[in-house]
Amino acid sequence: GDSVTQMEGPVTLSEEAFLTINCTYTATGYPSLFWYVQYPGEGLQLLLKATKADDKGSNKGFEATYRKETTSFHLEKGSVQVSDSAVYFCALVWGFNKFYFGSGTKLNVKP
Amino acid sequence: EAGVVQSPRYKIIEKKQPVAFWCNPISGHNTLYWYLQNLGQGPELLIRYENEEAVDDSQLPKDRFSAERLKGVDSTLKIQPAELGDSAVYLCASSSAHEQFFGPGTRLTVL
Protein backbone atom coordinates (compact mmCIF):
# COMPACT_ATOMS: atom_id res chain seq x y z
CA GLY A 1 0.00 0.00 0.00
CA ASP A 2 0.92 3.66 -0.09
CA SER A 3 3.25 4.87 2.64
CA VAL A 4 5.84 7.46 3.63
CA THR A 5 9.04 6.80 5.54
CA GLN A 6 11.01 9.55 7.23
CA MET A 7 14.32 9.56 9.00
CA GLU A 8 13.95 9.28 12.74
CA GLY A 9 14.75 12.20 14.96
CA PRO A 10 15.51 14.17 16.79
CA VAL A 11 17.92 16.01 14.57
CA THR A 12 20.04 18.51 16.49
CA LEU A 13 21.96 21.18 14.61
CA SER A 14 23.75 24.39 15.38
CA GLU A 15 22.41 27.61 13.90
CA GLU A 16 23.51 28.15 10.28
CA ALA A 17 24.17 24.44 9.71
CA PHE A 18 22.91 22.59 6.63
CA LEU A 19 19.75 20.53 7.07
CA THR A 20 18.64 17.38 5.33
CA ILE A 21 15.63 15.33 6.41
CA ASN A 22 15.16 12.20 4.34
CA CYS A 23 11.79 11.08 3.05
CA THR A 24 10.99 8.15 0.80
CA TYR A 25 7.61 7.00 -0.37
CA THR A 26 5.75 4.06 -1.80
CA ALA A 27 2.78 4.74 -4.03
CA THR A 28 0.86 2.79 -6.62
CA GLY A 29 0.15 5.88 -8.68
CA TYR A 30 1.78 9.26 -9.25
CA PRO A 31 1.36 11.15 -6.02
CA SER A 32 1.76 14.76 -5.05
CA LEU A 33 4.31 15.19 -2.28
CA PHE A 34 4.34 17.61 0.63
CA TRP A 35 6.32 18.78 3.60
CA TYR A 36 4.41 20.06 6.60
CA VAL A 37 5.81 21.74 9.70
CA GLN A 38 4.29 21.63 13.17
CA TYR A 39 5.26 24.04 15.91
CA PRO A 40 4.46 23.18 19.55
CA GLY A 41 0.77 23.42 20.34
CA GLU A 42 -0.22 24.10 16.75
CA GLY A 43 -1.63 22.22 13.80
CA LEU A 44 0.36 21.24 10.74
CA GLN A 45 1.26 23.98 8.28
CA LEU A 46 2.02 23.34 4.65
CA LEU A 47 5.68 24.16 4.03
CA LEU A 48 6.11 23.17 0.39
CA LYS A 49 4.82 20.79 -2.24
CA ALA A 50 5.63 19.18 -5.57
CA THR A 51 3.09 17.65 -7.88
CA LYS A 52 5.15 15.79 -10.47
CA ALA A 53 8.53 14.21 -11.01
CA ASP A 54 11.52 16.59 -11.01
CA ASP A 55 9.45 19.43 -9.56
CA LYS A 56 11.19 21.39 -6.83
CA GLY A 57 9.09 22.82 -4.04
CA SER A 58 10.52 25.72 -2.07
CA ASN A 59 9.48 28.06 0.71
CA LYS A 60 11.22 30.07 3.44
CA GLY A 61 14.64 28.75 2.37
CA PHE A 62 13.52 25.12 2.43
CA GLU A 63 13.63 23.02 -0.72
CA ALA A 64 12.68 19.50 -1.77
CA THR A 65 12.86 17.83 -5.18
CA TYR A 66 10.46 15.11 -6.31
CA ARG A 67 12.71 12.22 -7.38
CA LYS A 68 10.69 9.52 -9.06
CA GLU A 69 13.67 7.28 -9.77
CA THR A 70 14.58 7.07 -6.08
CA THR A 71 11.01 7.66 -4.78
CA SER A 72 12.34 10.37 -2.54
CA PHE A 73 11.46 13.91 -1.46
CA HIS A 74 14.23 14.99 0.89
CA LEU A 75 13.90 18.32 2.70
CA GLU A 76 16.92 20.65 2.69
CA LYS A 77 17.84 24.06 3.99
CA GLY A 78 21.20 25.70 3.59
CA SER A 79 21.32 27.56 6.89
CA VAL A 80 18.91 26.74 9.70
CA GLN A 81 17.77 29.16 12.36
CA VAL A 82 16.61 28.60 15.92
CA SER A 83 13.11 29.50 14.75
CA ASP A 84 13.13 26.44 12.45
CA SER A 85 12.94 24.16 15.49
CA ALA A 86 9.77 22.14 14.97
CA VAL A 87 8.51 18.76 13.81
CA TYR A 88 8.55 18.15 10.07
CA PHE A 89 6.20 15.71 8.33
CA CYS A 90 6.50 14.32 4.83
CA ALA A 91 3.22 13.37 3.15
CA LEU A 92 1.76 12.18 -0.10
CA VAL A 93 -1.63 12.22 -1.75
CA TRP A 94 -2.99 10.81 -4.93
CA GLY A 95 -6.29 9.66 -6.24
CA PHE A 96 -9.09 10.04 -3.78
CA ASN A 97 -7.87 12.82 -1.51
CA LYS A 98 -6.35 10.39 0.96
CA PHE A 99 -3.16 11.68 2.54
CA TYR A 100 -0.41 9.50 3.97
CA PHE A 101 1.94 11.00 6.54
CA GLY A 102 5.34 10.02 7.79
CA SER A 103 5.93 9.75 11.51
CA GLY A 104 7.62 13.14 11.72
CA THR A 105 11.16 14.30 12.38
CA LYS A 106 11.85 16.66 15.23
CA LEU A 107 14.43 19.33 14.52
CA ASN A 108 16.23 21.14 17.33
CA VAL A 109 18.40 24.09 16.34
CA LYS A 110 20.78 25.42 18.98
CA PRO A 111 22.08 28.98 19.00
CA GLU B 1 -9.43 34.22 4.34
CA ALA B 2 -10.09 32.38 7.59
CA GLY B 3 -8.34 29.08 8.12
CA VAL B 4 -9.75 25.89 9.57
CA VAL B 5 -11.39 26.65 12.91
CA GLN B 6 -11.59 24.15 15.74
CA SER B 7 -13.06 24.33 19.19
CA PRO B 8 -12.38 23.85 21.96
CA ARG B 9 -8.60 24.07 21.92
CA TYR B 10 -8.27 22.11 25.13
CA LYS B 11 -10.57 19.72 26.94
CA ILE B 12 -10.09 17.81 30.16
CA ILE B 13 -12.65 15.19 31.12
CA GLU B 14 -12.93 12.15 33.31
CA LYS B 15 -13.08 8.71 31.74
CA LYS B 16 -16.51 7.47 30.72
CA GLN B 17 -17.68 11.03 30.07
CA PRO B 18 -18.76 12.16 26.59
CA VAL B 19 -16.89 14.83 24.65
CA ALA B 20 -17.45 16.62 21.35
CA PHE B 21 -15.18 18.57 19.04
CA TRP B 22 -16.25 21.04 16.40
CA CYS B 23 -14.60 21.99 13.14
CA ASN B 24 -15.37 24.63 10.53
CA PRO B 25 -13.36 24.10 7.34
CA ILE B 26 -12.12 26.70 4.90
CA SER B 27 -15.00 28.07 2.87
CA GLY B 28 -15.53 26.14 -0.33
CA HIS B 29 -13.54 23.10 0.72
CA ASN B 30 -15.65 20.02 0.08
CA THR B 31 -13.27 17.54 1.68
CA LEU B 32 -12.99 17.45 5.46
CA TYR B 33 -10.78 15.19 7.57
CA TRP B 34 -10.58 14.27 11.22
CA TYR B 35 -7.21 12.98 12.40
CA LEU B 36 -5.89 11.65 15.66
CA GLN B 37 -2.36 12.63 16.63
CA ASN B 38 -0.58 10.94 19.50
CA LEU B 39 2.48 12.52 21.04
CA GLY B 40 5.52 12.19 18.80
CA GLN B 41 3.59 10.68 15.93
CA GLY B 42 2.06 11.72 12.66
CA PRO B 43 -1.65 12.28 12.06
CA GLU B 44 -3.78 9.17 11.70
CA LEU B 45 -6.97 9.45 9.69
CA LEU B 46 -10.21 8.82 11.57
CA ILE B 47 -12.72 9.86 8.94
CA ARG B 48 -12.87 11.71 5.64
CA TYR B 49 -15.91 13.50 4.23
CA GLU B 50 -16.65 14.52 0.69
CA ASN B 51 -19.38 17.10 1.20
CA GLU B 52 -21.77 15.45 3.69
CA GLU B 53 -20.82 11.87 2.82
CA ALA B 54 -18.33 9.93 4.93
CA VAL B 55 -16.26 8.24 2.24
CA ASP B 56 -13.54 6.76 4.45
CA ASP B 57 -14.30 5.87 8.06
CA SER B 58 -12.48 2.55 8.19
CA GLN B 59 -10.19 3.73 11.04
CA LEU B 60 -12.95 5.25 13.16
CA PRO B 61 -13.67 3.16 16.31
CA LYS B 62 -17.37 3.09 15.78
CA ASP B 63 -18.23 1.60 19.14
CA ARG B 64 -17.41 4.89 20.84
CA PHE B 65 -16.65 7.47 18.14
CA SER B 66 -19.15 9.16 15.86
CA ALA B 67 -18.98 12.07 13.46
CA GLU B 68 -21.35 14.11 11.41
CA ARG B 69 -21.26 16.76 8.73
CA LEU B 70 -24.93 17.34 8.14
CA LYS B 71 -24.89 20.25 5.71
CA GLY B 72 -21.54 19.52 4.14
CA VAL B 73 -19.86 22.41 5.92
CA ASP B 74 -18.92 22.19 9.60
CA SER B 75 -18.46 18.91 11.40
CA THR B 76 -18.62 17.43 14.87
CA LEU B 77 -16.63 14.50 16.22
CA LYS B 78 -17.93 12.81 19.36
CA ILE B 79 -16.52 10.28 21.77
CA GLN B 80 -18.84 8.49 24.16
CA PRO B 81 -17.66 7.20 26.53
CA ALA B 82 -14.09 8.47 26.61
CA GLU B 83 -11.29 6.18 27.71
CA LEU B 84 -7.85 7.01 29.09
CA GLY B 85 -6.26 5.98 25.79
CA ASP B 86 -8.23 8.63 23.92
CA SER B 87 -5.96 11.34 25.30
CA ALA B 88 -4.43 12.89 22.19
CA VAL B 89 -4.72 15.84 19.82
CA TYR B 90 -7.65 15.74 17.42
CA LEU B 91 -6.91 17.58 14.21
CA CYS B 92 -9.38 18.74 11.61
CA ALA B 93 -8.30 19.54 8.08
CA SER B 94 -9.91 20.51 4.82
CA SER B 95 -8.62 20.31 1.29
CA SER B 96 -9.06 21.64 -2.18
CA ALA B 97 -7.17 20.48 -5.25
CA HIS B 98 -5.05 18.05 -3.23
CA GLU B 99 -3.78 20.77 -0.90
CA GLN B 100 -4.67 20.18 2.73
CA PHE B 101 -4.97 22.77 5.47
CA PHE B 102 -5.08 21.98 9.17
CA GLY B 103 -6.76 23.57 12.14
CA PRO B 104 -4.89 24.11 15.42
CA GLY B 105 -6.28 20.93 16.96
CA THR B 106 -8.07 20.06 20.18
CA ARG B 107 -5.92 18.60 22.92
CA LEU B 108 -7.98 16.07 24.87
CA THR B 109 -6.91 14.83 28.28
CA VAL B 110 -8.88 11.98 29.82
CA LEU B 111 -8.35 11.51 33.55
pLDDT in tens, A93-103: 887 788 899 99
To the nearest whole number, what is the mean pLDDT of chain B?
A: 94
Beta strands in B3-104 (DSSP E): 5-7, 10-13, 19-24, 31-37, 44-50, 53-56, 65-68, 75-79, 88-96, 99-102
- Selected for mutation to probe chain A from B35, B53, B102 (highest A CB count within 10 Å) is B102
Tens of pLDDT, residues B78-98: 999 999 999 999 999 999 877
What single-letter DSSP state applies at residue A67? B
For residue A104, give the nearest of B41, B93, B99 by CB distance: B41
Q: Which of A14, A44, A27 is nearest to A104 (CA)?
A: A44
For B107, name the nearest residue in chain A, comparing CA atoms only.
A41
User: Phi, psi (5° rounding) for residue B84?
Assistant: -55, -40
Size of interface A-B (CB pairs under 8 A): 54
Question: For residue range A6-65, what is the model confidence (pLDDT) as tens digits?
Answer: 988 899 999 999 999 999 999 988 899 999 999 988 889 999 999 999 999 999 999 999
Cβ contact, residue pair B98, A104, below 8 Å = no
Closest CA to B4 of B80, B92, B69: B92
- C-beta neighbour count of A20 within 10 angstroms: 11
Interchain CB contact of A74 with B (< 8 Å): no
Residue A47: CB atoms within 10 Å? 20
Q: Say yes or no to pLDDT of A83 above 90.
A: yes
Contact B31, B95 (CB under 8 A): yes
Question: Any idea which of A12-16, A72-76, B72-76 has the lowest mean pLDDT?
Answer: B72-76
d(CA A43, CA B97): 20
Of the CA atoms within 13 Å of residue A56, those in its CB half-sphere come to: 7
- CA–CA gap between residue A47 and residue A21 (Å, rounded): 14
Backbone φ, ψ for residue B37 (5° rounding): -130, 115
pLDDT digits (tens, 9 = 90+) for B11-64: 999 999 999 999 999 999 999 999 999 988 899 999 999 999 999 998 999 999
In angstroms, how far is the first alpha carbon of chain A from the final one? 41
Q: Does residue B1 have a pLDDT over 70? A: no
Residues of A in contact with B99 (CB under 8 A): 46, 49
Band of the pLDDT at A1, cuts 50, 70, 90? confident
